[in-house]
Amino acid sequence: MNLIEIDKIINPIQASDGAGVKLKRSIGVEPNYFDPFLMLDEFGSENKDDYVAGFPPHPHRGIETVTYMLQGEFEHEDSTGAKGRMSSGDVQWMKTGSGIIHSEMPAMSEGRLHGFQLWINMPAKFKMSKPEYIYIDSEKMSIYKDTDKQVKVIAGKFENAEGPVKGHNIEPIYFDIELNKKKEFNFKLPSTHNSFIYLIRGEITIGEKQHEKVKDSTLILLSKGEMLKVKSNTDTKFLLISGKPINEKIARGGPFVMNTKDEILKAVQDYHNGTFVK
């Protein structure tokens, strides 16, 4: 069986978004696009000044955003009338489709905030579809656990634990894995998929080829293959994310991702004309 190895190790850059929320950005910089993944941000701080301004109302079209809260609380509100509060461990999977205007604001004025936002491209045939959501409550999340590891399943399936995101065009896999020191995580991935690991904490070794040390807040792009083998040098926590490439040309314009420049200009025009929300 074809063993998966490390293709590239990337240290995220310090960035800010929204009204000045400090974060670490990896996908969306280098690489700019890892089909079907457009962006990956890790936000986390114990200093309220780094996050309290949040993400005031802003538009999206043509993408999916997956927000995973590890710690803290966020309030969400949007142009469809949907609103709610995300707490530690919750996931909001939003398909923006033809367009949505939403805000994400911290529901806390002190304490630690920590989480991730992943942007996923949508194929042309879905880009102008009706916006929709999948909410995953942490208390209802499917979890596999044994003496070596814990795997929270947001999408895909691990052993008897299966995520609620089903029938998706990219056949996504999204695991939050905690692996005890000197233990091993083995998983068969589809050879068609682009896959990566985001190491949150600890130190790991991947595959059998020699590679440089991988430790804490690091993006690891994986080679295509079938069998993933991860060994923990310390107690570790990491995300494993994988998806089938869409293989379409894209055009980007800030919060809009379409297939042509003209479609981006139309999105900007719709937004300024007040016809953005269908």
Share of the chain above pLDDT 70, in %: 98
Question: What is the per-residue pLDDT for 278?
Answer: 76
Position 79 in a domain: yes
Share of the chain above pLDDT 90, in %: 69
Identity of the amino acid at 60: H
If pLDDT is split at 50, 70 and 90, which confidence band does 19 have? Answer: low
Query: 30: how many CB neighbours lie within 10 A of its CB?
Result: 14
Q: In what order do the strands lie in the sheet with 100-106?
A: 55-60, 100-106, 74-78, 83-86
Mean pLDDT of 187-215: 93
Torsion of CA 210, 213, 214, 220, to 10 degrees: -40
Position 262 in a domain: yes
Position 218 in a domain: yes
The total of structural domains in the chain comes to: 1
Q: Using one digit for the tens of pLDDT, what is the confidence trace for 51-80?
A: 777 778 889 999 999 999 999 888 888 888
Position 214 in a domain: yes
Tokens of 75: 């309030």
Q: Using one digit for the tens of pLDDT, what is the confidence trace for 257-269?
A: 999 999 999 999 9
Residue 120 to residue 124: CA distance in whole angstroms:
13
Question: Looking at beta carbons, which pairs linking 148-152 to residues 24 or more positions away fall under 8 Å?
Answer: 148/179, 148/180, 148/183, 148/184, 148/185, 149/177, 149/178, 149/179, 149/180, 149/183, 149/185, 150/177, 150/178, 151/175, 151/176, 151/177, 151/185, 152/89, 152/176, 152/177
Position 250 in a domain: yes
Judged by DSSP in three states, 157 sits in strand
Torsion of CA 141, 245, 240, 42, to 10 degrees: -90
Question: What is the per-residue pLDDT for 148?
Answer: 97
Identity of the amino acid at 7: D
Q: Using one digit for the tens of pLDDT, what is the confidence trace for 96-130?
A: 999 999 888 888 767 788 999 999 999 999 999 99
More confident: 29 or 190: 190
Torsion over CA: 120, 198, 90, 75 (sign): negative
More confident: 21 or 229: 229
If pLDDT is split at 50, 70 and 90, which confidence band does 188 have? Answer: very high
CA terminus-to-terminus distance, the chain:
48
Residue 55 to residue 192: CA distance in whole angstroms:
35
In contact, 189 and 4? CB cutoff 8 Å: yes
pLDDT value at 1 more than 80: no
Position 1 in a domain: no
Position 278 in a domain: no
Select from 85, 83, 86 the least CA-distant residue to 100. Answer: 83
- Here the CATH number for the domain that contains residue 206 is 2.60.120.10
> pTM for this structure?
0.94
Query: 261: how many CB neighbours lie within 10 A of its CB?
Result: 11
Tokens of 16: 């800010």
In contact, 26 and 238? CB cutoff 8 Å: no
Give the structural domain span for 202.
6-273
Furthest-apart CA atoms within the chain: distance in Å: 58
Position 24 in a domain: yes
